[in-house]
């Protein structure tokens, strides 16, 4: 079986990128990076502080630099932040440097999964549902244009999502092997 390429997770807030990325990397014995955590570590400050002090443009600049760095590594799993696809530079390096997995979920699930969270500055408002719907309208076409595969994460445990990603990525990267496996199952 050939080596898998870098795996990059994209998708909206609460889709499970950070949770699933960690599990996926452990399953593959790979190093895991979460771009938000890496930004926080480098900056010595958390995401809300960066948004407060530098605004969203300041955060996006740091995010672009971090995604450029992380995507240059080899054999890694990287979870991005939900807004990473807003910049063409990010979309390009993600597409060119690995296999991109779009983790998708419903706005209902996003609301539940982020309800108690105080670390997502863009959701610290009264109209969270409207904000998430607007983001979906803007970002879903970008997630689709950037990704190689799409995997739904609602009504599935993180473990089941990891298995589905691995199945789909193997099929994508090694269609011949997949065909042989299938054939061997049906041959006498």
Ligand X SMILES: Nc1ncnc2c1ncn2[C@@H]1O[C@H](COP(=O)(O)OP(=O)(O)O)[C@@H](O)[C@H]1O
Ligand Y SMILES: O=C(O)C1=C[C@@H](OP(=O)(O)O)[C@@H](O)[C@H](O)C1
Residues at the binding site are 14-19, 36, 60, 82, 120, 139, 156
State whether the Cα torsion 111-113-116-120 is positive or negative. negative
**Encoding tokens for residue 187?**
């041959």
Partner that binds at residue 19, options Mg ion, ligand X, ligand Y, none, CB closer than 5 to 8 Å by kind: ligand X
In Å, how far from its chain's centre is CA 124? 21
- Residue 137, class by beta-carbon neighbours within 10 Å (0-12 exposed, 13-18 middle, 19+ buried)? exposed
Nearest Cα to 37, choosing from 29, 46, 50, 27? 46
CB of 9 to ligand X, least distance (A): 8
Site string for ligand X, 56-95 (x = CB under 6 A): -----------------------x----------------
Q: Which of residues 2-61 bind Mg ion (CB under 5 A)?
A: 17-18
- The reply to whether 35 sits near ligand X by the rule CB under 6 A is no
Residues that bind ligand Y (CB under 6 A): 13, 17-18, 36, 47, 81-83, 120-122
């Amino acid at each position: 079986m050939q080596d898998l390429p870098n795996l990059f997770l994209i998708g909206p807030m609460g889709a499970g990128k950070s949770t699933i990325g960690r599990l996926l990397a452990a399953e593959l014995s790979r190093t895991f990076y979460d771009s938000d955590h890496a930004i926080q570590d480098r900056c010595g400050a958390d995401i809300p502080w960066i948004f407060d002090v530098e605004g969203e443009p300041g955060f996006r600049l740091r995010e672009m630099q971090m995604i450029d760095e992380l995507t240059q590594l080899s054999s890694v799993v990287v979870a991005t932040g939900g807004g990473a696809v807003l910049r063409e530079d990010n979309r390009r390096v993600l597409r060119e440097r690995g296999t991109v997995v779009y983790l998708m979920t419903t706005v209902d699930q996003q609301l539940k999964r982020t309800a108690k969270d105080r670390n997502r500055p863009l959701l610290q408002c009264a109209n969270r549902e409207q904000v998430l719907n607007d983001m979906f309208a803007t970002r879903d076409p970008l997630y689709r244009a950037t990704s190689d595969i799409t995997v739904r994460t609602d009504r599935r445990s993180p473990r089941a999502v990891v298995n589905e990603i691995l199945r789909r990525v193997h099929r994508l990267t090694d269609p011949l092997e997949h065909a042989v496996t299938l054939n061997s199952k049906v041959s006498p």
